[in-house]
Structure 1
Amino acid sequence: MEESVAALRDTGPLISKDALVQSAELLEKAHQIYGVAASAIIGEYLAYRLLRMGISAQQFSDMHRAVMNATCLKLGVIAVSSSGSTKDLLHAVQLGKEHGASIIVLSNTRRSPLATLADQLLVAAKPAGPLTAGSFHSKISAMLVIELLSQQLLETK
């Protein structure tokens, strides 16, 4: 339990008000969410939170569909990845960027290939390692970031 509490506590200092404001502005136009495996669960949670606020969002966990979607993107995408290095996700996000989409990245890793593609990077604490991928600690901190982002969206509406 202590590790989960620490994940929440450690996430706070990683997220600035400016990052939330800028992400909320981009998120008003970016209604596509990409995430695979355990990160897809976080993407689904984000889509759910947006829908509760009246913003229809679509979560893609199938990266073949995400790639097709990325070629049509003009506004933006939210990429969710704990590691920031999932190859299929990187490919879809790169295509979206090449087609003019703004990229918001929610990750547990500040320095990653995905982070280099981000127009706005939101980092949650407790990156998962090979043996802890999908752990509750990394997911709960990402969910906290989604809650902070949701609050920011509500404030700007």
Structure 2
Amino acid sequence: MSAAEQADPAARWADGYCGAVTHLVRALAALPTVDPSTPQQASKTSSALLGSLVGGLDETIDGLQRLDAPPAPAADKARRDMVERFGDIRQRTQNVRQRIDDAHADPAVTRDALGDARATLDQIAGLNVLKGLQDVPDTDAASKRTPGCQQLTVPAAPK
């Protein structure tokens, strides 16, 4: 963190927020692939994928909860709302993972659970992880001054 960020409480808080959600972004970027070659492999690799996602959500939730008091009261509500959303998604993800693990590679149950896993991933893909910052003018402006937040808003380079 730069000296300017240390002197700017809003930027410091925004940087912490972005640091917390980076755990989820990294987990999404490094998700293992699902091997659909057999029901057993599909179950095993899907469970691993969902486990990675739960881990990223856990780290993000923990990081958001450990943030110091925000510079604006509205930012605290926005943070709590995001923690709740991430928590709900985490619970659904863990439930789907448990269903996959309990199915013991039963093709029909695995197929249904994989559909639920895809829906969960689609929900996360559509989630604006910076919403908690962007909903509050002070933290939205501060997020534009921090390198950690800027990294989260830069579009990915085409492959």
TM-score interval (norm. to shorter)? under 0.3
Q: Which protein, 1 or 2, shows the higher relative CO under an 8 Å CA cutoff with sep ≥ 6?
A: 2
Q: Which has the larger radius of gyration?
A: 2
Q: Report the structure, 1 or 2, having the larger strand content.
A: 1
Q: Report the structure, 1 or 2, having the larger helix content.
A: 2
